[in-house]
Amino acid sequence: MSTFNVPKREEVSAKNQAIFDNLEKQVGFVPNLYASYAYSENALKNYMDFSSGASSLKAKEKEVINLAVSQVNNCEYCLAAHTAIGKMNGFNEEQIIELRQGKATFDIKLDALAKLAKNTTENRGKTDADVLEHFFNAGWTKENLIDTMLIVGDKTISNYINNTVKTPIDFPEVKAI
């Protein structure tokens, strides 16, 4: 079996070194996920551009999707990272557990979003009609739906990379549910 070590700055291209330097300034460190993307000359920049693109969804709403999708895909790295980011966005521990389960009993609109993210991921994009109807009845728009699908895809890419290369977790680990 092939082993992937997290590449260090000196082991990546000059283009990726510049991105590492920027991450150090912005975040204070280079998350292991981003370093793993740097095995590719272009993947890190492409991923960062995609994941930071404009959206009709707020940061907190994106975390709802990230947590539900990462749980379905059983990505321990992303669950740890997005639990930390979810807390930064105002969710408490109990709410994060619910979001990981694909629900939000504390907020009707977020509940519909979490259910959509979970159902879409479980069904590989073939969202159940009743889940989609619940999403729209909760006040979400067609624009929100498309932006949600982009975030589901974005998170699935990261989940698959982490699960394949077994990215070492550099965020506080979370309990299995």
Query: Which helix (H) or strand (E) is 11 found in, with range?
Result: none
The answer to whether 104 touches 98, Cβ cutoff 8 Å, is: yes
CA angle 30, 32, 33 (to 5 degrees): 105
Backbone φ/ψ region at 166: left (φ over 0), alpha (ψ -120 to 50), beta: left
Residue 81's pLDDT is 98
Q: What sign has the CA pseudo-torsion 145, 147, 150, 154?
A: negative
Domains of the chain by residue range: 9-51, 59-165
Per-10-residue mean pLDDT of the chain, 177 residues long, equals 83 98 96 97 97 97 98 98 98 98 98 98 98 98 98 98 96 94
The answer to whether 19 touches 48, Cβ cutoff 8 Å, is: yes
Rounded Cα gap, residues 57 and 133, in angstroms:
19
Residue 4's pLDDT is 86
Residue 130's pLDDT is 98
Residue 45's pLDDT is 98
Exposed / middle / buried, residue 72 (Cβ in 10 Å: 0-12, 13-18, 19+) = buried
Specify the DSSP class assigned to residue 40.
S
Q: pTM for this structure? A: 0.95
Measure the N-to-C terminal CA separation of the chain; round to a whole number of Å: 29
Residue 1's pLDDT is 45
Exposed / middle / buried, residue 133 (Cβ in 10 Å: 0-12, 13-18, 19+) = exposed
The class level of CATH for 59-165 reads: mainly alpha
Residue 2's pLDDT is 58
